[in-house]
Amino acid sequence: MTSPGKIAVAGGTGLVGRLVVAALRERGDEPVVLARSTGVDLTTGAGLGAALDGCTAVVDVSNVTTTRRAVAEGFFDAATTHLVAAARRAGAGHLVVLSIVGIDDVDLGYYAGKRRQEQVVRAGAVPWTVLRATQFHEFAGQYAGGVRGPVLAVPSMLSRPVAAQEVAARLADLVAAGPGGDAPPFAGPRTMHLADMVRGYLRATGRRALVMPVRLPGAAGRAAARGALVPAAPFDAGTRTFEEYLAALGETQRLRAAR
């Protein structure tokens, strides 16, 4: 186990990034957020050198919102290449990267970008750990959030949704453990259909729509539908259920309505 230190968090202002920052602080580390809002641009490398000064490790939870292969591959190639090079120059001894279960088997554009990210990390000069996790509980809301009509089409896929906070805690644990290569995949406590997750999200947020599972085209759709995004044993599982997430979400909705 490594002692507490100065740890950089790429993407530290995002959903998981904020939780990683909090988890590192709880362990006595000093997190340094790498984001445009803090003067760092991963895609160009601007600001990285100064931000990484004195950092002993880096956690990469950076992200790009796209389904386009070229955009995803371009972002992760540039961002990860700059991050690895800057971490090496700064003398950081460990790079921890969050990736996704199933990206080798489900050939979607965004997943191609994540594969490129992993390739750059594995080929780089900084000792590394890669954690592949399943979709977060918030994944259902990405499909349900923009409901505009009575019917909502969602991809036909199996998932094992996991709490983002538990993923963040696992990433912080991996930082402390030191470089380990491929970590055991991390998933939620049980397997669910995405359509059922979206239906539950709609109920919890007081919205109505007919949820229709639609298979994605080609081999990627077949793989997602048969469970390629669910890890094969052995893997580690969190304990917070999707139902607990929905209950907390519903309570938040009720408190807002009561104001």
CATH number (domain holding residue 51): 3.40.50.720
Inside any domain, residue 126: yes
Would residue 1 count as lying in a domain?
A: no
Q: For residue 83, what are the domain limits?
A: 6-258
pLDDT tens track for 34-91: 999 999 999 999 999 999 999 999 999 999 999 899 999 999 999 999 999 999 999 9
**Alpha-carbon distance 75 to 208, whole Å?**
36
pLDDT for the residue numbered 259: 64
Separation of alpha carbons 229 and 105, rounded Å: 8
Does any domain span residue 228?
Answer: yes
First to last CA, the chain: 47
| Torsion angle, alpha carbons of 96, 102, 103, 107, to 10 | -170
Report the domain count for the chain: 1
For the chain, list the strands marked E by DSSP: 6-10, 30-34, 57-60, 95-100, 128-133, 151-155, 158-159, 181-182, 186-187, 192-193, 210-214, 236-237
Tell me, yes or no, whether 205 lies in a domain. yes
pLDDT at 5: 85
Each residue's pLDDT tens digit in the chain (259 positions)?
666 789 999 999 999 999 999 999 999 999 999 999 999 999 999 999 999 999 999 999 999 999 899 999 999 999 999 999 999 999 999 999 999 999 999 999 999 999 999 999 999 999 999 999 999 999 999 888 766 788 999 999 999 999 999 999 999 999 999 999 999 999 999 999 999 999 999 999 888 889 999 998 899 999 999 999 999 999 999 999 999 999 998 777 766 666 6
Q: Is residue 33 part of a domain?
A: yes
**Any domain includes 23:** yes
> Beta strand pairing status for 57-60 and 6-10?
parallel
Task: State residue 101's pLDDT score.
Answer: 98
Give me 109's structure tokens.
């554009």
For position 208, what pLDDT does the model report?
87
Neighbours of 62 (CB within 10 A): 24
Q: Is 183 exposed, middle or buried (0-12, 13-18, 19+ CB in 10 A)?
A: buried
Residue 167 lies in a domain: yes
